[in-house]
Structure 1
Amino acid sequence: MSAPETIAEARDALRNGDVTSAELTQGYISAISEAGALGAFVHETPDLAMDMARAADKRIAEGGAPDMCGIPLGIKDLFCTQGVASQAASRILDGFTPEYESTVTAKLWRSGAVMLGKLNMDEFAMGSSNETSTYGPAVNPYRRSGDTEALTPGGSSGGSASAVAASLCLAATGTDTGGSIRQPAAFTGITGLKPTYGRVSRWGIVAFASSLDQAGPMTRTVRDSAIMLQAMAGHDASDSTSADIPVPDFEAALSGDIRGKVIGVPREYRMDGIPKEIDALWQDGVRMLREAGAEIREISLPNTKYALPAYYVIAPAEASSNLARYDGVRFGRRAKSEPGDGILEMYEKTRAEGFGAEVQRRVMVGTYVLSAGFYDAYYNRARKVRALIKHDFDTVFDKGVDAILTPTTPSAAFALGSMADADPVQMYLNDVFTVTVNLAGLPAISVPAGQTGDGLPLGLQLIGRPWDEAGLLNTADVLEREAGFVARPERWW
């Protein structure tokens, strides 16, 4: 039998005795050891993985094991993992090994999942190309037809996307603050789900922007995302923003039937200069959902044009507050002091050495917009715009729309280094279709749905009602089936 490619296939193979978790895990450990060129895994844990796999095999043999039992996963370096380096891809956390486990990873380990190691990412999740990482960039396993130029896997969950697309793990955790699960999923031809804000605990995940961050699964298929979200979701008393509401059976919700569902298509997302391939894919998505029995309705989200400016005020403001804890005193890196240096000099030198250029830029922007005299002009105004954006979505959903279809990204994956000298705003524009979802706290999923003429994956985004991940996943499952995306990267690494 060939190795299972999805969580669902592996779950069945493990239960049927066709393969053991130890065999699966060993296969992935070997694949990871040969894939250094991708830069996806940054802290490998092969011994721990094999111990967890053997424990999972024993649990499966006893019967009644959870769905995720024995499934080998990669974990984004933003999740604190007990006894395993957790750096958030930042030099300032060099050497930090937590004495505790994030709630998400603890839930996954309780379900019997296996940790293969930690995955590359943009520093403190600030970036859209995985180029701000202290480890160096992760690389997209896809290349343009007939070209060897290295492409970005997207960011900030670039290592997660690269690892799943290159079959270095069955699935991975990601986090999404402005599109950091969905954009890399689209760039690498995988599925990425950002749940409703509060559906998944943030406890033990290194914070970027606390009112926007949300963890979610990055998988090969929609069904796999449903299975993995089931294990990750649920109320956590340690996280004051975690919602105490029931977690439905997401996989059971995949009926494959969306007849009578109303899909909204926002006119404001038809932006000037949108590439023809992206627009054609969007129209294809509309056609596929209509043919599956859904009603397509044009909708208006009038405050969309203010989303990026509001996001890039709110997110840096929250980041500047969260990153103030990295001072060289309590954990991580401390700069060498000169005779006569006081504590302020130690703080300044530590942060100058420890934070990369993008993190420094966002901390400075955030500190500025929160400072006296500018708080009302920038931060408070951005919060009001955020409320208007949320109201736009509420209005549409109140009028009977079940989900909203948009492109995930304004382009396919671009070359690593191609935006190095560009205005930072050019990089921020990668998030143009995704940030509204975080500002409104909604669930959204990127599904691979097509390819460019030179063979790069393209994704479509579905945005759901608050707490309706079940309905969103069902619509996404239908879109996945209709699109029939089966491309895999040609191995070059």
Structure 2
Amino acid sequence: MDYLGKDIFSIHESLVNGDITAEELTRQTIENAKKNDEDINAFVVFDEENAIKQAQEIDKAGIDPDNVLSGIPVAMKDNMLTKGVLTSAGSKMLSNFKPIIDGTAVAKMKEAGTINIGKTNMDEFAMGGSTETSFHGKTKNPWNLDKVPGGSSGGAAAAVAAGDVLVSLGSDTGGSIRQPASFNGIVGMKPTYGRVSRWGLIAFASSLDQIGPLTRTVKDNAVVLNAIAGKDEHDMTSSNKEVPDFTANIDKGVKGMKIALPKEYLGEGVDKDVQDAILAAADKYRELGATVEEVSLPNSKYGVAAYYIIAPSEASSNLQRFDGIRYGYRAQDAKNLEELYVKSRSQGFGDEVKRRIMVGTYSLSAGFFDAYFKKAAEVRTLIIDDFKKVFQDYDVILTPTAPTPAYSLKDEKDPITMYMNDILTIPVNMAGLPGMSVPAGFSDGLPIGMQLIGKPFDESTLYQAAYAFEQNTDFHKQDPKMGGAQ
């Protein structure tokens, strides 16, 4: 069982008709994912025993014909708490950590009838854009095993692209759902900040983190967001705004819709093939009846600089809890308490995590708080104001997701170059807006993603615009050579 060329609705029909049982589907899914993982390394751990037990219970109760998620195998990013199952956040620090609870998003997926087959690989503590900083080894891109899958949700995206699962949940702090979705030729949604509870998500930067779905199609993505969105009493930053049915108007088209094309997102540093794909997408929207006009988001260019003060500052605070005392990795050769703290953190954290902790601690220090963190927060406000101005006149913003297609695993990469790869996605997190990546083209056989950005809590319009594009193009129908599509 691979899921290339399939969607949730076709699998649901097979389950309802009795063509396959949830147990058979789960066993076949795990078998195929394990086979693919020999090449891709998308998974950190498989939860085979619990998954099959859950599938048997669903079969016993019967597939709910009105619930398309009933009996569907899924995967969870390794920074989401899963009861009794390793949750390491891609790190050595938590390489022995098995939570005693499920996070809210994980619990909601279980309540919806999905079956979690395992945890997907990621950059350590979600700090990276290529899934190369994981303690569990690098994940490879199913389209080309010499290329990165993106990050930090690279394992989650690769698992969907390879046909291992139809759905995985990822997290997005500066583009970590959308950029891997782009690199893997799938659909990735970062909802509005607060739309999905963060309770049970191991924190990187609390004012930026957001959980969202990665899927093969736009409609599948909307179905999953229906399941995980909503207010959570455990998370005071979760919104109490009513959650609409994101599939209700998905097929209404884009006729009369106003789409903004920011000139700053198509400038220097954006690959020519990526530019051409986005301009072609703009023409497709015009053809479908939308108005597409150039706009300016002048402060977006400062997004990366501000982000790499705010995010590390919040990370340095969040990661204080990993001290070798309560849980996680503990150094064995410490002679006193201070040495235990220092050695546990020195040995338990990787280079990228240490780098960001140091930057963040410096930015928050008494002598530099006003010069760095406060200024970055002010820039964040300017970015928010830019988006507000554009959304007074437009429904959706169209941009590339990433400046290039997937790059090589073998390239030597300096941190600054890596950070700049998030230049097109970071402003969305800084402003707390919904953003999604949809397949929009290819460059030398590698997928290109387009990013759609929406007004706060207006994911429905994004799905509507994305679905119209998807139904009038065939980019989403093309599969990598992995996972059975030889």
Which TM-score bucket, shorter chain as reference? over 0.9
Alignment gaps of 5+ in structure 1: 144-148
Aligned-residue offset at 1:19:
2.3
Deviations 1:151-194 (A, max 9, x none): 10000000001100001111100000000000000001110000
Shift of residue 492 of structure 1? Answer: 8.0
Q: 1:191–1:492: structure 2 CA closer, same or farther, 3 Å change rule?
A: closer
1:284 to 280, 285, 289: 280
The answer to whether residue 381 in structure 2 is matched with residue 390 in structure 1 is: no
State the partner residue of 2:442.
451
Q: What is the alpha-carbon distance in structure 1 between the residues aligned to residue 60 and residue 241 of structure 2?
A: 33
- Range with greater deviation from structure 2 (228-237 or 481-490): 481-490
Deviations 1:105-163 (A, max 9, x none): 000101110011010000000000000000001110112xxxxx611000000000110
Partner of 1:201: 197
Matched, 1:154 2:150: yes
Residue in 2 that maps onto 1:37: 39
Aligned residue type for 1:347: Y
- How far apart in 1 are the matches of 2:329 and 2:342? 12
Is the alpha carbon distance of 1:135 and 1:286 closer, same or farther for their aligned partners in structure 2, counting shifts above 3 Å? same
Residue aligning to 2:209: 213
Give the CA deviation at 1:69. Answer: 1.1
> Shift of the alpha carbon at 1:297?
1.7
Q: Could you tell me whether the CA contact under 8 Å between 1:69 and 1:113 is conserved in 2?
A: yes
Q: Which amino acid aligns with 2:342?
A: E
The root-mean-square deviation of aligned C-alpha atoms, in Å, is 1.5
- What residue identity is the alignment partner of 1:87? S
> Could you tell me which of 151, 167, 175 is aligned with 1:171?
167
CA displacement, residues 200-219 of structure 1 (integer Å, 9 cap, x when unaligned): 00000100000000000000
| Aligned pairs (5 A) from 1:66-105 | 66-105=67-106
- 1:111 aligned onto 2:112: yes
Name which of 298, 303, 306 aligns with 1:302. 298
Q: What residue is the counterpart of 1:407 in the other structure?
A: 400
| 1:192-271 → structure 2 map (5 Å cutoff) | 192-271=188-267
Secondary structure class of the residue paired with 1:449: strand
On the 8 A contact 1:450/1:483 being kept in 2, the answer is: no
Mapping of 1:356-395 within 5 angstroms? Answer: 356-395=350-389
Moved more, 30-39 or 79-88: 30-39
- Cα deviation digits, residues 239-265 of structure 1 (max 9, x gap): 010001111001122124111010000
Bigger mean CA offset, 23-32 vs 327-336: 23-32
* Pick aligned residue for 1:57 from 59, 64, 69: 59
Contact conserved, 1:56 with 1:113, CA < 8 A, in 2?
no
Give the aligned partner of residue 135 of structure 1: 136
Deviation at 1:56, TM superposition (A): 2.2
Deviation, 1:273, is 3.6
Which residue in the other structure is 2:343 paired with?
349
Matches within 5 A, 1:174-189: 174-189=170-185
TM-score by length of 2: 0.96
Give, as a single letter, the amino acid of the residue that structure 2 aligns with 1:474: Q
- Which shifted more, 299-308 or 207-216? 299-308
Give the Cα–Cα distance (whole angstroms) in 1 for the partners of residues 441 and 60 of structure 2: 41
Judging changes above 3 Å, is the alpha-carbon distance between structure 1 residues 2 and 84 closer, same or farther for their aligned structure 2 residues? closer
Q: CA deviation at 1:64?
A: 5.5
Q: Offset at 1:54?
A: 1.8
Question: Contact 1:189–1:458 at 8 Å: present in 2 too?
Answer: yes
Q: Which moved more, 1:480-489 or 1:180-189?
A: 480-489
What corresponds to 2:462 in structure 1? Answer: 472
Whether the 8 Å CA contact 1:464–1:472 is kept in 2: the answer is: yes
Q: Deviation per CA, 1:48-86, whole angstroms, max 9, x where unpaired?
A: 11111122223444x455331111001100100000010
- Contact 1:328/1:335 (<8 A) preserved: yes
**AA partner of residue 58 (structure 1):** K
Cα offset, 1:412, TM superposition:
0.6
Q: Give the one of 19, 24, 48 matched to 2:50.
A: 48
| Distance (Å, rounded) in 2 between the aligned partners of 1:22 and 1:90 | 32
Q: Distance in 1 between matches of 2:43 and 2:466?
A: 29
Q: Write the distance in 2 (CA, Å) between the matches of 1:437 and 1:459.
A: 16
The amino acid that maps onto 1:401 is Y
Instruction: Pick closer, same or farther for the CA change 1:192–1:348 going to 2, 3 Å.
Output: same
Deviates more, 1:192-201 or 1:476-485: 476-485
The ranges of structure 1 where at least 4 consecutive aligned residues each deviate by more than 6 angstroms after the TM superposition are: 1-4
Equivalents in 2 of 1:208, 1:65: separation in Å?
37
Cα 1:98/1:262, change in 2 over 3 Å: same
Partners of 1:492 and 1:236 lie apart in 2 by 37
Alpha-carbon contact 2:395-2:455 (below 8 Å) kept = yes
Give the 3-state SS of the residue equivalent to 1:458 in structure 2.
strand
Aligned equivalents of 1:394 and 1:2: distance in 2? 43
Change (3 A) 1:372 1:489: same
CA contact (8 A) 2:71 2:115 kept: yes
Distance in 2 of aligned mates of 1:2 and 1:183:
23
User: How many angstroms does 1:344 deviate by?
Assistant: 1.5
Runs of 5+ consecutive residues of structure 2 not aligned to the other structure? none
TM-score (norm 1): 0.95
Whole-Å separation in 1 of the counterparts to 2:253 and 2:76: 33
Whole-angstrom distance in 1 between the partners of 2:482 and 2:44: 20
Offset of 1:16 from its aligned partner? 2.7
Percent identity of the aligned residues? 49
| 479-488 or 204-213: bigger deviation | 479-488
2:421 pairs, out of 410, 417, 430, with 430
- TM-superposed deviation, 1:376: 0.4
Q: Determine helix, strand or coil for the equivalent of 2:146.
A: coil
State the alpha-carbon separation in 2 of the partners of residues 111 and 59 from structure 1.
14
Letter of the 1:344 counterpart:
E
Q: Distance in 2 between matches of 1:102 and 1:93?
A: 16
- Superposition deviation, residue 423 in structure 1: 2.4
Mapped partners of 2:73, 2:410: distance in 1: 32
